[in-house]
């Protein structure tokens, strides 16, 4: 792992964004861990979060990007924070775009916030977490309805390393279905590996009991290529 990836895991714990227990995902799966990017709420947190996304985007996609698209609602602050970080860290003057859940019929009408999407624009979608790929199937038609643009990739904070609608990892499935690159700041294998060996605030967070529960979860939902 790169240093900023290890820092990001600690950052999620500090904000209680990464938690362990009993949860249910949007796709209905019972899970022993949960990532809630909605808990990033302070200026300091959003600044740091944008920087982690920016480092990943710069590493994985380079600088030939026109727009960051953040699906409503959590993707909106993610796209804005990351655009700022890309400019401050790399001098990349990338625009942000996001969708509304409801089409606005007065004032600045339409379904989009931020920059309009134009023919030829290179777009990277930015999300918090993808479990079964549900959100991206809702997002792609919105983007493609705007212009003849090139969606070059998707970046999420954490790859949960689970099956999508089939046997492939959800991010691999998205990459295959839409023919673009998918990546994450960290994946759950990296999270588990770090937290079962390195104490956080003097405590090993992933003990043998929790590790067994996580293993059982992946026996059921883990993608074959990434178990």
Write down the domain spans for the chain: 3-217+219-223
Active-site residue identified among 30, 104, 118, 227: 104
Tens of pLDDT, residues 153-192: 999 999 999 887 788 888 999 999 999 999 999 999 999 9
Maximal C-alpha separation, the chain = 57
Give yes or no for a contact between 224 and 170, defined as CB atoms under 8 angstroms apart: no
Could you name the CATH architecture of 3-217+219-223? 3-Layer(aba) Sandwich (3.40)
Residues contacting 101, CB < 8 A, separation 6+:
72, 73
Tens of pLDDT, residues 22-65: 998 777 889 999 998 889 999 999 999 999 999 999 999 999 99
pLDDT band at 200 (very low <50, low <70, confident <90, very high): confident
- Please state, in angstroms and as integers, the Cα–Cα distance from residue 25 to each residue in 20, 31, 130, 162, following that order: 13, 7, 10, 12
Residues contacting 91, CB < 8 A, separation 6+:
none
pLDDT band at 131 (very low <50, low <70, confident <90, very high): low
pLDDT band at 104 (very low <50, low <70, confident <90, very high): low
Active site residue 227: no
Residue 119 has phi, psi (to 5 degrees) of -55, 135
Active site residue 58: no
Active-site residue identified among 106, 109, 197, 203: 106
Q: How far apart are CA 226 and CA 218, in angstroms?
A: 10
């Amino acid at each position: 792992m790169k240093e900023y990836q290890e820092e990001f895991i600690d950052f999620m714990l500090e904000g209680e964004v990464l938690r362990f227990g009993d949860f249910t995902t949007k796709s209905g799966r019972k899970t022993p861990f949960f990532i809630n990017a909605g808990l990033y709420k302070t200026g300091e947190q959003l600044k740091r979060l944008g920087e982690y996304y920016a480092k990943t985007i710069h590493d994985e996609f380079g600088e030939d990007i026109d727009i960051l698209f953040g699906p409503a609602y959590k993707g909106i602050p993610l796209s804005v924070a990351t655009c700022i970080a890309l400019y401050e860290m790399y001098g990349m003057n990338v625009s942000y775009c996001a969708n509304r859940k409801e089409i606005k019929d007065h004032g600045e009408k339409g379904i989009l916030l931020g920059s309009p999407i134009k023919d030829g624009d290179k777009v990277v979608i930015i999300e918090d977490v993808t479990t079964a790929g549900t959100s991206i199937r809702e997002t792609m038609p919105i983007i493609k309805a705007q212009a003849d643009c090139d969606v070059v990739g998707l970046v999420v904070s954490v790859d949960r390393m689970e099956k999508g609608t089939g046997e492939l990892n959800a991010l691999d499935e998205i990459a295959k279905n839409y023919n673009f690159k998918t990546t994450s700041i960290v994946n759950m294998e990296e999270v588990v590996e770090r937290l079962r060996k390195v104490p956080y605030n003097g405590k090993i967070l992933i003990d043998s009991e929790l590790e067994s529960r996580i293993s059982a979860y992946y026996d059921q939902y883990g993608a074959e290529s990434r178990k």
